[in-house]
């Protein structure tokens, strides 16, 4: 028999959200009348902006006629979308990103999971704790995890704790990692890094020759003036950082699927012979070999979001979720809980009441409020003592959740 990639079998059996889904399904089967409100998995609920629907409708119609049919597109994404992104997401903020440094994909998760394909299998990675599980699991699959420790961490990965005591701002790594994953605004804590705080990481990466993989999936939720929207707002970041963006939480494309990755031309890695190799070339090579481009129809939908009406429409949706976030924050605070996040982010990181761990608080909220959250310890040991709530429900469901919570707490 052939051998499999043994690292896959070393991963813990169930992905966090599958485990929660099972707990909730069991609860539902025992309480079929319970009106469950889900603030657990980070999926959106508002419909797609009319501008994007119009863009996609046109694209679908084009497919119906031989004159306008579009087949395989460029693996890197259609030029019309890449130039809209370069102009609106970067140039308008004073950041110089060229169209050919942008790679359109079917979502940030794939790019984040795939990016280390182009790095040596022995590189050392550092992640924050708590962390979006994809950064860890994808490295474990590639054999970089070492072995699983009793507390759920991996011996081969460095963890940068983000706790109440450091204000959820990770300390600079002490282990000299080659790659540092940062996600800001952060999933799960909902906190953000200021320009100065992110600048410390850029400075570190440049001094140590490290690469920052910067996940900006929640950029659209930033409202604080001193929180950068892109890592490239920091001087020198183009020499040390790749940035991942997603249309999922910005424009509700969780089901449509679209994202992009910026790989600047200034970014180099070390070849086997000691030469400097441009990462952009390697990523292009990887994508042209293993990816055939994102859907034309969806790219047309995304391009329509860069029109004035498209931008206005997605702002309205983001404001809708942000209103939920502030309603939730205030209600939890009034009920006497300590909460973080929810300002530059759709996530609220609520501290469990005294005497409750993450799982106990999760169970309490499920059993007594019929409210699904995510236990913080599922994102790493430093998440113990917290649960994550999302602001992606409807206003009505959020108000209902708030009223159930105030009765309970
Ligand atoms: N990065 C973070 C931090 C996320 O929370 C998510 C989705 O929940 C993603 C990336 C995935 O984004 P996409 O839907 O574009 O794959």
Burial of 276 (0-12, 13-18, 19+ CB in 10 A): exposed
Convert the pLDDT of each residue in 189-204 to its tens digit.
999 999 999 999 999 9
HEC per residue, 46-67: CCCCHHHHHHHHHHHHHHCCCC
Fold of 53-306: 3.40.640
If one residue of 248, 291, 346 were mutated to test the ligand 1 pocket, choosing by the most ligand atoms within 8 A of its CB, it would be 248
Question: What is the spatial distance between Cα 202 and Cα 28, in angstroms, rounded to a whole number?
Answer: 47
Distance 122 CA to ligand 1 centre (A): 25
336 CA to middle of ligand 1, Å?
Answer: 31
Q: What's the chain's average pLDDT?
A: 96
Q: Beta 241-246 vs 211-215: how paired, if at all?
A: parallel
Q: What is the pLDDT of residues 294-335, one digit of tens each?
A: 999 999 999 999 999 999 999 999 999 999 999 999 999 999
Q: Which pLDDT score is estimated for 283? A: 98
For residue 185, pLDDT beyond 80: yes
Q: How far is the CA of 221 from the centre of ligand 1 (A)?
A: 14
Kindly give the number of the ligand 1 atom that is closest to the alpha carbon of 107: 15
Kindly give the number of the ligand 1 atom that is closest to the alpha carbon of 112.
10
Stretch 343-348: mean pLDDT, rounded?
A: 98
388 membership: H or E segment, kind and range: strand 386-390
Q: Which atom of ligand 1 is found nearest the CA of 254?
A: 14
Q: How far is the CA of 254 from the centre of ligand 1 (A)?
A: 9
**Packed helices 308-334 and 50-63: angle between N→C axes, nearest 10 degrees:** 140
pTM, 2 dp? 0.97
pLDDT band, residue 162 (cuts 50/70/90)? very high
pLDDT digits (tens, 9 = 90+) for 82-102: 999 999 999 999 999 999 999
Lowest-pLDDT choice from 37-46, 175-184, 277-286? 37-46
**What is the distance between the alpha carbons of residues 108 and 114, in angstroms, rounded to a whole number?**
10
Which of 39, 217, 257 gets mutated to test ligand 1 (max ligand atoms within 8 A of its CB)? Answer: 217
Mean pLDDT of 155-159: 97
pLDDT value, residue 14: 67
14-43+309-408, what's its fold?
A: 3.90.1150
The number of the ligand 1 atom at minimal distance from the alpha carbon of 187 is 3
Ordered by start, the domain boundaries in the chain are 14-43+309-408, 53-306
Looking at residue 408, its pLDDT comes to 83
Closest CA to 179 of 221, 246, 117: 117
Tell me how crowded residue 231 is: count the other CB atoms within 10 A of its CB: 27
- Condensed to tens digits (0 to 9), the pLDDT of residues 244-265 reads 999 999 999 999 999 999 999 9
Average pLDDT over residues 52-62: 98
Instruction: Look at residue 409 in the predicted model and tell me its pLDDT.
Output: 73
Q: What is the DSSP pairing of strand 259-262 with strand 102-105?
A: antiparallel
Q: Which residues line ligand 1 (CB under 6 A)?
A: 42, 107-109, 132, 183, 187, 215, 217, 246, 248, 254, 259
Q: Which of 103, 108, 185 to mutate to test the pocket of ligand 1 (most atoms within 8 A of CB)?
A: 108
- For residue 226, pLDDT beyond 80: yes
Residue nearest to atom 5 of ligand 1 (CA): 187
Taking residues 266-280, report their average pLDDT: 97
pLDDT digits (tens, 9 = 90+) for 372-407: 999 999 999 999 999 999 999 999 999 999 999 988
Task: Supply the residue whose CA is at minimum distance from atom 8 of ligand 1.
Answer: 42
- Segment 159-184 shows an average pLDDT of 97
Res 105 pLDDT > 70: yes
* Cα 59 to Cα 225, 296, 306, distances in angstroms: 37, 7, 16
Q: How far is the CA of 132 from the centre of ligand 1 (A)?
A: 8
Q: Average pLDDT of 354-381?
A: 95
Task: Write b or e for each residue in 355-386: b if 16 or more Cβ atoms lie within 10 A of its Cβ, otherwise e.
Answer: ebbbbebbebbbeebbbbbbbbbbbbebbbbb
Taking a C-beta distance cutoff of 8 angstroms, is the pair 231, 90 a contact?
Answer: no
20 pLDDT more than 90: no
Q: What is the structure's pLDDT at 407?
A: 85
Q: Taking 70 as the threshold, does the pLDDT of residue 55 lie above it? A: yes
Report how far ligand 1's centroid is from the alpha carbon of 108 (Å): 6
On the question of pLDDT at 15 being above 90, the answer is no
On the question of pLDDT at 268 being above 70, the answer is: yes
Segment 199-220 shows an average pLDDT of: 98
- Give the pLDDT of residue 29: 95
- Rg from Cα positions in the chain: 21
Residue-level pLDDT at 126:
98
Mutate which of 43, 104, 246, 390 for ligand 1 pocket (most atoms within 8 A of beta carbon): 246
């Amino acid at each position: 028999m052939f051998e499999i990639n043994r690292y896959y079998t070393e991963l813990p059996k169930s992905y966090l959200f599958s485990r929660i889904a099972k707990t909730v399904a069991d609860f539902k089967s025992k309480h079929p009348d319970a009106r469950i409100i889900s603030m657990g998995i980070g999926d959106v609920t508002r419909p797609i902006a009319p501008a994007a629907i119009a863009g996609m409708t046109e694209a679908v119609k084009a497919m119906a006629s031989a004159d306008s049919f579009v087949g395989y597109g460029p693996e890197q994404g259609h030029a019309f979308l890449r130039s809209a992104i370069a102009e609106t997401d970067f140039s308008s903020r004073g950041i110089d990103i060229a169209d050919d440094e942008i790679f359109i994909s079917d979502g940030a998760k794939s790019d984040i999971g795939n990016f280390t394909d182009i790095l040596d299998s022995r590189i050392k990675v550092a992640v924050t704790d708590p962390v979006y599980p994809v950064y860890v699991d994808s490295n474990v699959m590639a054999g970089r995890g070492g072995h699983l420790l009793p507390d759920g961490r991996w011996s081969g990965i460095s963890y940068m704790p983000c706790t109440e005591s450091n204000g959820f701002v990770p300390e600079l790594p002490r282990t000299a990692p080659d790659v540092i994953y940062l996600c800001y605004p952060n999933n799960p804590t909902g906190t953000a890094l200021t320009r100065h705080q992110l600048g410390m990481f850029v400075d570190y990466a440049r001094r140590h020759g490290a690469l920052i993989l910067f996940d900006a999936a929640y950029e659209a939720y930033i409202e604080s003036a001193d929180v950068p929207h892109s890592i490239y707002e920091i001087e020198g970041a183009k020499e040390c950082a790749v940035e991942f963006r997603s249309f999922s939480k910005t424009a509700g494309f969780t089901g449509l699927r679209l994202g992009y990755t910026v790989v600047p031309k200034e970014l180099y890695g070390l070849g086997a012979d000691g030469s400097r190799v441009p990462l952009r070339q390697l990523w292009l090579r990887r994508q042209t070999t293993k990816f055939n481009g994102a859907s034309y129809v969806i790219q047309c939908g995304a391009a329509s979001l860069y029109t004035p009406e498209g931008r206005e429409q997605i702002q309205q949706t983001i404001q809708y979720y942000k209103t939920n976030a502030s309603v939730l924050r205030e209600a939890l605070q009034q009920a006497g809980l300590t909460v973080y996040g929810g300002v530059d982010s759709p996530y609220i990181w609520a501290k469990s009441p005294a005497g409750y761990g993450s799982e106990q608080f999760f169970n309490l909220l499920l059993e007594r409020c019929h409210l699904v959250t995510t236990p913080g310890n599922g994102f790493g040991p430093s998440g113990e003592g917290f649960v994550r709530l999302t602001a992606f429900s409807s206003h009505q469901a959020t108000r209902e959740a708030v009223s159930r919570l105030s009765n309970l707490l």
